[in-house]
Amino acid sequence: MRIKTPPATAADIHATIASLADPTRTRLLLLLGRYELSVNELCAAVQLPQSTVSRHLKHLSDDGWLITRSEGPSRYYRLAPRLEPVAKQLWQVVRDGLGAQPETAQDEARATQVLSERRTRSQEFFSSTAGQWDALRADLFGARAGFAGLLALLDDDIVIGDLGCGTGIVSNELAPYAGRVIAVDESREMLSAARRRLHERENVELRCGALEALPLDDGELDAAVMSLVLHYVPEPVAALSEARRVLKPGGRLIVVDMMAHGRAEYREAMGHVWQGFTQEQVHAWLAECGFGRVRWRGLAAEPGAKGPVLFAASGTAM
Ligand SMILES: C[S@@+](CC[C@H](N)C(=O)[O-])C[C@H]1O[C@@H](n2cnc3c(N)ncnc32)[C@H](O)[C@@H]1O
């Protein structure tokens, strides 16, 4: 029988009653209304042979009571979330009547045990592979798998400024998780490259302007990022004060840049103004510009990176 759309015929009603008129089938349905289980797990829970359980599962599936899901070699069953009205009504009567029977409680206790064994299997996997998990994770998903997803911790209506956005790498990472990203740079060439990278990001706006006179209103941002920019700014206090102005009170600024280093050739080669920064310098500037709760973190160097070690300093607009 295939359960049909209402109105149900007399034949439908009798077929639905017949479908439920078997104690093994109702035991299986009571379990599958609560848990998703494989044939073997059901056999253990109801203590019946596989041939019996499989036969009743086929009957119930054919009658539209169950949905199934395959995972590897296993097939999992559960009660169909949407039943035809007549089936739903009859099922409620049966479930309410049988749900309180001692045998049902026994089946449930065994099903719970079966499910806890599933958990034990995953625990065994991790206790035997603890030493190799890092390599396995990298092998399966990549060395930085899932880290970008951590940005989903951001409120999805947050407005973030990418100050000194360059070609838009940072904006591109932030955009999927933010309400809006306002990317600012003084170089029209860099902004053109950013436009090419970000043209499909509808929540990113590019603005041309200087960090020392940001094209942003007071309190327009919830958060701001200055990534690999501050070492180009002759007067960091001027840029950090502007960042404070355009943040809402309580908004947060993150500065990512190089720790103090000795590579003087970067001035000539890349126009750097500062050879990185010390923690004391950055802390003092942020405090001077109206930021509190200042934090500093050294960042782990990426394997193979040739440049100086980076830091991330943050402060809250007071
Ligand atoms: C090295 S790029 C970094 C870009 C990007 N933030 C990143 O992490 O890839 C530095 C950018 O800062 C911009 N910049 C430097 N000084 C600036 C200033 N005073 N005002 C606005 N933009 C500035 C440059 O035009 C350049 O695009």
| Model pLDDT for residues 222-278, shown as the tens digit of each residue | 999 999 999 999 999 999 999 999 999 999 999 999 999 999 999 989 999 999 999
Ordered by start, the domain boundaries in the chain are 10-138, 148-317
Selected from 1.20.1200.10, 3.40.50.150, 2.10.109.10, 2.140.10.10, the CATH number assigned to the domain covering 148-317 reads 3.40.50.150
Residue 6: per-residue pLDDT: 55
As a three-state string, the secondary structure of the chain is: CCCCCCCCCHHHHHHHHHHHCCHHHHHHHHHHCCCCEEHHHHHHHHCCCHHHHHHHHHHHHHCCCEEEEEECCEEEEEECCCCCHHHHHHHHHHHHHHCCCHHHHHHHHHHHHHHHHHHHHHHHHHHHHHHHHHHHHHHHHCCCCCCHHHHHHCCCCCEEEEECCCCCHHHHHHHHHCCEEEEEECCHHHHHHHHHHHCCCCCEEEEECECCECCCCCCCEEEEEEECCHHHCCCHHHHHHHHHHHEEEEEEEEEEEEECCCCCHHHHHHCCCCCCECHHHHHHHHHHCCEEEEEEEECCCCCCCCCCCEEEEEEEEC
Mean pLDDT score of the chain, rounded to an integer?
Answer: 92
Mutate to test the pocket of ligand 1, among 169, 184, 185, 233 (most ligand atoms within 8 A of CB): 185
Model pLDDT for residues 278-312, shown as the tens digit of each residue? 999 999 999 999 999 999 999 988 878 899 999 99
**To test the ligand 1 pocket, which listed residue (173, 184, 186) has its Cβ within 8 A of the most ligand atoms?**
186
286 lines ligand 1 (CB under 6 A): no
Counting residues of the chain whose pLDDT is more than 70, the rounded percentage is 98
pTM over 0.85: no
CATH number for 10-138 (one of 1.10.357.10, 2.40.30.10, 2.40.50.660, 1.10.10.10): it is 1.10.10.10
* pLDDT (0 to 100) of residue 138: 84
pLDDT tens-digit series, residues 166-193: 999 999 999 999 999 999 999 999 999 9
pLDDT in tens, 93-151: 999 999 888 889 999 999 988 888 887 877 877 777 777 878 888 888 887 888 888 99
Percent of the chain topping pLDDT 90? 75
